[in-house]
């Protein structure tokens, strides 16, 4: 099974295939390039849902747009304590996907992270509301992760993108357009918290996240 290792730079993760050494080299090369697209996933403690979403999404898009920018994925929690490892069951589920999350460390959601993100995906509507309260300008690029996937499911595939940033912006445009024509949802937009529940609940959470990520990939036209 192929392994993935993660390192973090400035609050944003970079996932690398094969080794932590390669991950470090790739992280050192990350710059604030115009072609890059930053995605921030948000939950409560940044220990279960948002780390799993972060790694599953980053792994899915890590090989795309070579030489044309990259998606850089991070996560945070509205009530998180900084510098904690992810929940052991979340780490186990990621390991089952061939992903090593041992170097992950939690962080609290701050306005600066919201400001630097191009897209913010929250676990629940409550997290979405808190993100909007912390940084109101984030509203246009703010969705729950299930909501974003639902809106994209009702969107046509956009024209091929030339850069990672262009592809990301096209997804936001598609979701915003769909929001005006599809029926709004409530509890379906929330991702249940598996904390204090059996491993099965973590696997179910990861399955939902993987399904959401697959919907993103459907619309991610690459050069």
Question: Tens of pLDDT along 135-166?
Answer: 999 999 999 999 999 999 999 888 888 888 99
Distances (CA, A) of 48 to 41, 102, 153, 159: 11, 13, 25, 34
pTM score: 0.86
Q: Which fold has domain 35-219?
A: Rossmann fold (3.40.50)
Summarize the confidence of residues 33-52 as an average pLDDT. Answer: 93
Q: Which tens digit of pLDDT belongs to each residue from 110-142?
A: 999 999 999 999 999 999 999 999 999 999 999
Q: How many residues does the chain have?
A: 223
Query: Helix 199-219 to helix 164-179 angle, to the nearest 10 degrees?
Result: 100
Among 22-36, 57-71, 77-91, 206-220, the range of highest mean pLDDT: 77-91
- Report the pLDDT value the prediction gives residue 20, as an integer from 0 to 100: 33
For the cut 50, the answer to whether the pLDDT of residue 175 exceeds it is: yes
**Closest among 12, 42, 48 to 30, alpha carbons compared:** 12
What residues contact residue 35 under an 8 Å CB cut-off, 6+ apart?
65, 68, 69, 70, 163, 164, 165, 166
The four Cα atoms 204, 216, 5, 198 give a dihedral, to 10 degrees, of: -10
- Report the pLDDT value the prediction gives residue 158, as an integer from 0 to 100: 86
Where do the structural domains in the chain lie, given as residue ranges? 35-219
User: Are the CB atoms for 221 and 64 separated by under 8 Å?
Assistant: no
């Amino acid at each position: 099974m192929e392994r993935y290792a993660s390192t973090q730079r400035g609050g944003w993760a970079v996932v690398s295939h094969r080794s932590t050494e390669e991950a470090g080299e790739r992280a050192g090369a990350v710059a604030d390039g115009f072609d890059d697209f930053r995605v921030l996933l948000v939950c409560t403690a940044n220990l279960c849902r948002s780390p799993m979403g972060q790694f599953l999404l980053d792994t899915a898009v890590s090989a795309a747009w070579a030489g044309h920018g990259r998606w850089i994925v991070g996560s945070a929690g509205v009530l998180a304590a900084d510098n904690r490892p992810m929940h052991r069951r979340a780490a186990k589920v990621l390991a089952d996907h061939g992903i090593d999350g041992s170097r992950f460390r939690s962080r609290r959601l701050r306005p600066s992270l919201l400001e630097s993100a191009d897209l913010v995906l929250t676990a629940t509507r409550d997290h979405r509301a808190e993100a909007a309260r912390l940084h109101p300008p984030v509203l246009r690029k703010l969705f729950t992760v299930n909501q974003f996937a639902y809106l994209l499911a009702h969107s046509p595939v956009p024209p091929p993108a030339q850069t990672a940033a262009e592809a990301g912006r096209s997804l936001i445009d598609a979701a915003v357009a769909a929001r005006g024509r599809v029926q709004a949802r409530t509890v379906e937009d929330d991702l249940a918290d598996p904390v204090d529940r059996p491993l099965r609940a973590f696997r179910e959470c990861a399955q939902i996240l993987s399904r959401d990520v697959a919907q993103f990939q459907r619309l991610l036209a690459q050069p």
